[in-house]
Amino acid sequence: MTSEPLLLGISGASGIIYGIRLLETLRALGVECHLVMSRSAEVSLAHETNLKMADVTALATAAYTPGDIAAAPSSGSFRTRGMVIAPCSIRSMSEIASGVTSSLLTRAADVTLKERRRLVLMVRETPLHTGHLRTMTALSEIGAIIAPPVPAFYSAPASIDELIDHTVGRVLDLFGIDTGRLKRWGGLRSSGKRRQPNSPT
């Protein structure tokens, strides 16, 4: 596994728990993670959790302020394994698609694309109008992966935490990182009955 860091962006969309759980998981796995949160993400943090900014940034290997456009992730010469934005707001998604970026978060995503590294956007919005869908298509065409945090129920989750862990595990799979907690689909028996999910390894 590469030792290069994974970039994590957290925007102001609802669902900040996904970004936090990614930080917790990567820290537990010993994977270097560099964090940049948008100013709107601070608002979501206050509304959706009891955590403070210092609690979140302490989980990262390095953390940058959104206005620090001279920070390491703003340059393609800073080598990374790619970037996840979790959650990704429609505004952040639209900035990245246009290439006209206004913060370190979207600049780092733009750099990830231009360097042909993996960019995963956990777009958190519904319903979607045609403009949103066209923007997603444009991003897909230039190399981004659109991965909305859609829960999976075949693993028979017993809690919201298990739903979140499954989504986080699927996202990290895209970077070759196995969390060891992902219940994977085992297919159907010949009788048509569903197999029980494999136990986490």
User: Does domain 6-173 fall into CATH 3.40.50.1950?
Assistant: yes
Q: What pTM was estimated for this model as a whole?
A: 0.91
Angle between helices 16-29 and 39-48 (to 10 degrees): 90
Q: Both tokens of residue 110?
A: 């733009």
Per-residue model confidence (pLDDT) at position 83: 98
Q: Where are the domains of the chain?
A: 6-173
Nearest to 18 by CA among 182, 178, 150, 185: 150
Q: Check: CB of residue 178 under 8 Å from CB of residue 184.
A: no
Nearest to 139 by CA among 171, 102, 109, 107: 109
Q: pLDDT per position in the chain (201 positions), as tens?
A: 458 999 999 999 999 999 999 999 999 999 999 999 999 999 999 999 999 999 999 999 999 999 999 999 999 999 999 999 999 999 999 999 999 999 999 999 999 999 999 999 999 999 999 999 999 999 999 999 999 999 999 889 999 999 999 999 999 999 999 999 888 888 665 544 555 555 444
Per-residue model confidence (pLDDT) at position 1: 47
Between CA 64 and CA 58 the distance in angstroms is 12
